[in-house]
Amino acid sequence: MSSNIIKFVHEDQIVEVENPDPNEILLNYIRTNLKKTGTKEGCAEGGCGACTVVLGELKNNKINYSAVNSCIMFLPTLQGKQLILVEDLVSKNGSLHPVQEAMVNYHGSQCGFCTPGFVMSLFAMFKNHSKFKDNIIKDSIAGNLCRCTGYKPIIKAANSLNSKNKIDHFTKNKQNTITLLKKIKDESIVIYKKDKRYFAPRYVQELKKILKKNINSHLLSGGTDLSLVVTKERKDINSVIYMNSINELNYIRNNNNYIEVGATTSLIELESYIEKYYPDFTNILKRYGSVQIRNVATVAGNIATASPIGDTLPLLLSLDAKVVLKSIKKTKIVPLNDFFIDYRKTKLKKGQFIDSIRIPLFPKNIFKAYKISKRFDDDISSVCASFNLEVINKKIKNIRIAYGGMASIPKRAKYCEKILLHSLITEQIINKAQEALEKDFKPISDMRASRKYRMEVAKNLLHKCFLEITQKKLIRVNN
Ligand SMILES: Cc1cc2nc3c(=O)[nH]c(=O)nc-3n(C[C@H](O)[C@H](O)[C@H](O)COP(=O)(O)OP(=O)(O)OC[C@H]3O[C@@H](n4cnc5c(N)ncnc54)[C@H](O)[C@@H]3O)c2cc1C
Ligand code: FES
Ligand code: FES
């Protein structure tokens, strides 16, 4: 059974939208159709947080709250969720939500343009954590920009929530919301609107059938890359297949040899899971976009874009990850090292999709990763480097090194690896390995960094990795 009616919960009711435009952006719908203008548009590309709203989703009979950027979300993807806007935070009796009250009491707002976005990010934090430590507060608002108040009063406001009662009107109304969310059937969505099509299958089998008939469709996961075609390039996407309603592909499994990440698993889920195995993977993910981005974006989407500065890609390359590709009839497992062909080109063929990513476990190895960007938070890498090696008695037994931002694709540093393999860690060998990077890479100059800067940074990161190993301590500014 499929439907062309999008159903979601808002203001304690089920809202239905019949046959919407598949390219309709949620922010436009909120401001134009719902006529709620608290949610603002700043950048229209997920970078400023002014458009932040919170989505409630039912998982194991509980509501999961996540902050998202409504400016880069397509309206049909709201199916089956609860939409919470800044206006909804005020109780029916007119009293402000504790988060709003704190922002008033601590003077967290001047011109006010960014304020609804901050309030919604802090609201998601309020619902998801029991204690609001400094790192949690900073992480929660890293995707929100304020140009006039400054961040100190906002951080103080967030801190003051530690002494507030956690039971708000959403907690009191939880059972009713769960009942409403359960009433919205888990239907597949199929929309035909003029020359545009939108499909949201619920199962892999269904996805395969749709793909067979709509081979030229664009696969949509978190949409943090694809949606910009509409919001920034101002083009239409005529046929879309939404992957993230397929729960079957939302998993993280571990068979002690590798971690398998299903294609629709969000980065935020991976971020907490992988910390135990590869803490630096989590450190890099924490600096990947913002919470709003990581709540929806996927590793599969990151891999499929094949961006030379995609942050998970050098990490996955150094960990020798494999991509499980599926098509209507076949399954293929491709080493990530062979997956990227050229600038933003991969081996993915029409009719194929990424089903999962396998990340090997190296319990004896040292794994390190570094991201260099102009801004610490919410910025794309200039250079990203990742090292995975085993050292026995100061000798390197096996090693994989990969860099992002150094070539047209994310790439292993094979010459550099060759110098280091089976060598004792000495200053001389590190110098030689640094020189070998000149053979491995010919980086370009662009607005993020010059060619010279990139090469210098790549060499320094290699040096830093070995200093950290030999001195047995981290040399980090922020983490
Ligand atoms: C504000 C902002 C900040 C960002 N910061 C970072 C950052 O710090 N680091 C970084 O690396 N990236 C960053 N990005 C880029 C983007 O978030 C990533 O590329 C992201 O991983 C894409 O995942 P997604 O699920 O949103 O993909 P989508 O946008 O849904 O899709 C991206 C591409 O992948 C394809 N695709 C999606 N799923 C599949 C699948 N299962 N099988 C085959 N193809 C598929 C789509 O067809 C599309 O071509 C940022 C983006 C924004 C807007
Ligand atoms: S308007 Fe800037 S993040 Fe959405
Ligand atoms: S209060 Fe003006 S931008 Fe934040």
Distance 198 CA to ligand 1 centre (A): 19
Tell the burial category of 121 from Cβ atoms under 10 Å away from its Cβ (0-12, 13-18, 19+): buried
Q: How far is the CA of 50 from the centre of ligand 3 (A)?
A: 10
For residues 450 and 384, membership in a common domain is answered with yes
Please work out whether the CB of residue 146 comes within 6 Å of at least one atom of ligand 3: yes
Tell me, yes or no, whether 332 and 450 share the same domain.
no
Q: What is the 173 CA–ligand 1 centroid distance (Å)?
A: 35
**Same-domain status, 181 and 66:** yes
Q: What pLDDT does 479 receive?
A: 55
Dihedral sign computed on CA atoms, order 197, 202, 204, 205 = negative
476 domain residue, yes or no: no
Strand partners, 240: 198, 218
| 350 and 284 fall within a common domain | yes
**Number of Cβ atoms within 10 Å of the Cβ of 123:** 27
Q: Is the CB of 206 under 6 A from ligand 2?
A: no
The CATH number of residue 347's host domain is 3.30.465.10
Q: What is the pLDDT of residues 207-216, one digit of tens each?
A: 999 999 999 9
* CATH assignment of the domain containing 373: 3.30.390.50
Specify whether 213 is located in the same domain as 349: no
The answer to whether 140 touches 78, Cβ cutoff 8 Å, is no
| CATH number for the domain harbouring residue 134 | 1.10.150.120
- The DSSP-derived string for 343-387 is TTEESPPTT-EEEEEEEE--TTSEEEEEEE-SSSSS---SEEEEE
Q: How far apart are CA 107 and CA 147, in angstroms?
A: 14
| Atom number in ligand 3 closest to CA 114 | 4
Which pLDDT score is estimated for 270? 98
Distance CA 123, CA 143 (A): 14
Q: Which ligand sits closest to the CA of 110?
A: 3
Same domain, 292 and 351: yes
Could you read off the pLDDT tens digit of each residue along the chain, which spans 479 residues? 799 999 999 999 999 999 999 999 999 999 999 999 999 999 999 999 999 999 999 999 999 999 999 999 999 999 999 999 999 999 999 999 999 999 999 999 999 999 999 999 999 999 999 999 999 999 999 999 999 999 999 999 999 999 999 999 999 999 999 999 999 978 899 999 999 999 999 999 999 999 999 999 999 999 999 999 999 999 999 999 999 999 999 999 999 999 999 999 999 999 999 999 999 999 999 999 999 999 999 999 999 999 999 999 999 999 999 999 999 999 999 999 999 999 999 999 999 999 999 999 999 999 999 999 998 888 889 999 999 999 999 999 999 999 999 999 999 999 999 999 999 999 999 999 999 999 999 999 998 999 999 999 999 999 999 999 999 999 887 65
Integer CA distances (angstroms), 79 to 27, 101, 160, 188, 468, in order: 15, 31, 35, 9, 48
Give the range of the structural domain holding residue 81, as residue numbers without chain letter: 2-87+176-242
What is the 387 CA–ligand 2 centroid distance (Å)? 34
Atom of ligand 1 at shortest range from CA of 379: 8
Where does ligand 1 bind, in terms of residues with CB under 6 Å?
A: 45-47, 72, 218-226, 243, 263, 288-289, 293, 297-298, 300-302, 304-305, 310-311, 348, 353-354, 380
In this structure, the answer to whether residues 55 and 181 fall within a common structural domain is: yes
Q: Report H helices in 216-341.
A: 228-231, 267-273, 279-286, 291-294, 299-305, 312-318
Where is the domain boundary, 242, 277, 298?
A: 242
| Residues 278 and 210 grouped into a single domain | no
Residues 198 and 73 both lie in one domain: yes
CATH of the domain at 24: 3.10.20.30
Q: Choose one of 308, 326, 360: the last residue of a domain.
A: 360
Place of tokens 């090469």: 455
Report the predicted TM-score, pTM, of the whole model to 2 decimal places: 0.97
* Residue 11: inside a domain: yes
Q: Do both 70 and 195 map to the same domain?
A: yes
